[in-house]
Amino acid sequence: MTGSGFSTRRSSRGHTLLELTIAVALGLVVGAGAITAYRSQHQAFVAATDAARIHEAGMNALLLIGEQIQMAGFTPADTPQGPAASAIFGCTAGRPVGADAGLTCETLSSRSDGIAIRYVGDTVSTSRSSSGEVTDCLGQAAGGEGVTVVNRYHAKPSSSTGEPELYCEGSGKVGTAQPLVEGVEKLRLRYWLADASQPVDASSLARDQWPQVIAVDLCVQVRGAPSTRRVSYVDCNGATILATDGRARQIFWRHIALRNAAGGAA
């Protein structure tokens, strides 16, 4: 009888250990599944957030530069004379620098194109400063009615954060460019001349050809946040690039017609 009771206790203890082993195994499986699902959902959320941020930056850059290009060469009806120089002037892999009447190009390490846009401003075509003056691309006072506004755009890494940004230098404070949109890594600008069959780079245009430009193809390349992924993207030249830094990139494109004609030298 004693032996029978001992066997029963041993059997009972063995059964309990088996159940515990199964329970632990099931717990590990469920826990691993939960962790995997969490990681997957977290990665999907991060990717979606990054994509939304890229899209917002790209659309904002297209809107800001596009509206300015449409303004190029504008002259109010009550102003007898337009800008003394051409409506636009561009640089390939560089940014416009120097005096407004004789712009030149300074090479950028980012290889981003740059563009200068000119028009005669008034308080209807531009927002009004606190002092009632015409404003530039940064909202800075540029002068009174009839002043020529010159806004210069380019993209480069920030000197403080290292992140790429779209910059504008307005005529309200010449020589000081300020960031407008974070994440903009590169601008690609190509120009249409009247009766041309295809657009050309800024480097292909002679100085006296700038007044003949009738439209601009604008491409904006935006870079996302760092990640461990290996991703590829199509750049503004149509080439497929493998991003070694794991950052997602997307291009945004717009064809913009110049609504106003203006003569002069760049």
pLDDT of residue 81: 64
pLDDT of residue 264: 42
User: At 117, which amino acid appears?
Assistant: I
The answer to whether residue 5 sits within a structural domain is: no
The answer to whether residue 70 sits within a structural domain is: yes
The answer to whether residue 72 sits within a structural domain is: yes
pLDDT of residue 82: 60
The answer to whether residue 147 sits within a structural domain is: yes
105 SS3 class: strand
The 10s digit of each residue's pLDDT in 189-203 is 999 998 899 999 999
Instruction: Show the domain range for 99.
Output: 44-257
The 10s digit of each residue's pLDDT in 146-192 is 889 999 999 999 988 999 999 999 999 988 999 999 999 999 999 99
| 91 strand-pairing partners | 114
pLDDT of residue 85: 73
Using the 8-state DSSP alphabet, how is residue 122 labeled? Answer: -
Query: At 4, which helix (H) or strand (E)?
Result: helix 2-71
Number of domains present in the structure of the chain: 1
pLDDT of residue 230: 79
Residues of the chain with pLDDT under 50: 1, 6, 8, 10-11, 262-266
The answer to whether residue 18 sits within a structural domain is: no
pLDDT of residue 235: 93
Measuring CA to CA, which residue among 237, 64, 247, 223 is closest to residue 157?
Answer: 223
The answer to whether residue 27 sits within a structural domain is: no
pLDDT of residue 76: 83
The answer to whether residue 88 sits within a structural domain is: yes
d(CA 254, CA 62): 7
Count, residues in the chain: 266
The answer to whether the beta carbons of residues 136 and 142 sit under 8 Å apart is: yes
Measuring CA to CA, which residue among 265, 235, 231 is closest to residue 248?
Answer: 231
The answer to whether residue 227 sits within a structural domain is: yes
**Could you give the strand order of the β-sheet that contains 213-223, starting from the edge strand earlier in sequence?**
184-193, 213-223, 249-257
Per DSSP, which regions of the chain are E strands? 88-91, 94-97, 104-107, 114-120, 134-135, 141-143, 148-157, 164-170, 178-182, 184-193, 213-223, 231-234, 240-243, 249-257
d(CA 246, CA 62): 25
